Amino acid sequence: MSDRSAMLATATDSNEAWGKLWRAGVLHSCSTAIDGNYDGRIAAFWQACFDGVAAGHRIVDIGTGNGALALLAKQHAEARGIGFDIHGVDAADIDPPRWASDAASFTGIVFHPRTRMDALPFDDGSVALVISQYAFEYSRPRDATLREVFRAIGPTGSAALLLHSADSLISLTARQQLAACELLFDETAILDLANDWISGLLAGRDATSIQQAFHQASARVVAGAAELPEAAILRKAFHYLHATLERAQTAPAQALHYLSDAREDLEAERVRLRHLADAILPLPELDDLHARSIAAGYAASTLAPLDQQAGSRMGWTLVVSP
């Protein structure tokens, strides 16, 4: 496979993996940590950004997912008794009104599925504010996306990005989650063992040795869970395995189907976690994005850490403004 085909294959896997998450109906990508929409200092940051946008002006959320930020922008405008022209763009096959719980809340927001943020469907300088939470940094090459953002906002618009950073809690959690994936898929192959055990039962074969191997793998995964307290994917895998074995007692064929769906879900999560790990920005790269913004003429651009509470770093904000 050439480098370019490998890159395209990876992009397709990622788009599918993200699409799968959004179809499951979660509002945003931190749904395991934050109930409802983004709140606290994250929401306060966004409210301050929206304060600077005048009635009728265009806001574009790049990498919008299920539209959490676009929705915050809409609610902000409503609270001010005005309206914005709000758009959400994503490379995945998104459709927030269809998949998220309250379709009516998205009325008036225009979503652009299968649309890359380095080729935005907006005229030069037609966007007052580009926003991105944990999305800009996923794009490749980032330089091209930054130039595209500058083109869309023109000399008078702004952009506000909340970016994954190497010093954030999310980065720590991602490392543990990926170690947990290695434990599940590579070191113990516990899903394969469950599959082989149940298939053996179904075929009437002696399953004693595979059953023993499964129990050994379970003990290893349980020990791993103690070493990786932030790895929520292990709790999810335990839930799936428990439910599979319960079903296997009465309906082994159905249990195998259930296990296959569970594996698909866990594998898609691993793809997203790898994508996330690649997106995390070391501090010098954040400084570089800031410096590029200033060099491009956005002299008032600022870079700052964002802590949801003391000690809970959620990333860094880059506000690009003239």
Ligand X SMILES: C[S@@+](CC[C@H](N)C(=O)[O-])C[C@H]1O[C@@H](n2cnc3c(N)ncnc32)[C@H](O)[C@@H]1O
Interhelix angle 283-295/142-153, nearest 10 degrees:
40
Of the pair 116, 313, the CB lying nearest ligand X is at 116
Amino acid at 250: T
| Exposure letters 248-281 (e unless 16+ CB within 10 A, then b) | beeebeebbebbeebbeebbbbbbbbbbbeebbb
128 Cα distance to chain centroid: 25
Among 111, 138, 240, 258, binds ligand X (CB under 6 A): 138
| Residues of this chain, 247-266, that bind ligand X according to CB under 6 A | none
Among 49, 60, 68, 231, binds ligand X (CB under 6 A): 68
Is residue 116 a contact residue for ligand X (CB under 6 A)?
yes
Q: Which parts of the chain fold into alpha helices (H)?
A: 3-23, 40-51, 68-80, 96-99, 142-153, 169-181, 190-203, 208-227, 232-250, 252-279, 283-295
The answer to whether residues 63 and 136 touch, using CB atoms and an 8 Å cutoff, is yes
Of the pair 16, 78, the CB lying nearest ligand X is at 16
The answer to whether residues 234 and 184 touch, using CB atoms and an 8 Å cutoff, is yes
Of the pair 136, 240, the CB lying nearest ligand X is at 136
Among 139, 171, 177, 195, binds ligand X (CB under 6 A): 139
Is 314 exposed, middle or buried, given 0-12, 13-18 or 19+ CB atoms closer than 10 A?
A: buried
* Cα angle 251-254-258, degrees, rounded to a multiple of 5: 130
Of the pair 134, 316, the CB lying nearest ligand X is at 134
Among 28, 57, 76, 112, binds ligand X (CB under 6 A): 28
Of the pair 18, 197, the CB lying nearest ligand X is at 18
The answer to whether residues 154 and 304 touch, using CB atoms and an 8 Å cutoff, is no
Please, what is the minimum distance in Å from the beta carbon of residue 248 to ligand X?
35
* Cα angle 118-159-289, degrees, rounded to a multiple of 5: 70
Please, what is the minimum distance in Å from the beta carbon of residue 157 to ligand X?
19
Of the pair 113, 125, the CB lying nearest ligand X is at 113
Binding mask 71-110 for ligand X (x = CB under 6 A): ------------------xxxx------------------
Please, what is the minimum distance in Å from the beta carbon of residue 89 to ligand X?
6
Total residues binding ligand X (CB under 6 A): 20
Is residue 135 a contact residue for ligand X (CB under 6 A)?
yes
Of the pair 64, 308, the CB lying nearest ligand X is at 64
Is residue 65 a contact residue for ligand X (CB under 6 A)?
yes
Compute the distance between CA of residue 148 and CA of residue 161 in angstroms, rounded to an integer: 14
Is residue 290 a contact residue for ligand X (CB under 6 A)?
no
Of the pair 176, 244, the CB lying nearest ligand X is at 176
Is residue 63 a contact residue for ligand X (CB under 6 A)?
yes
Under the rule (CB under 6 A), what is the footprint of ligand X?
A: 15, 18, 28-29, 63-65, 68-69, 89-92, 116-117, 133-135, 138-139
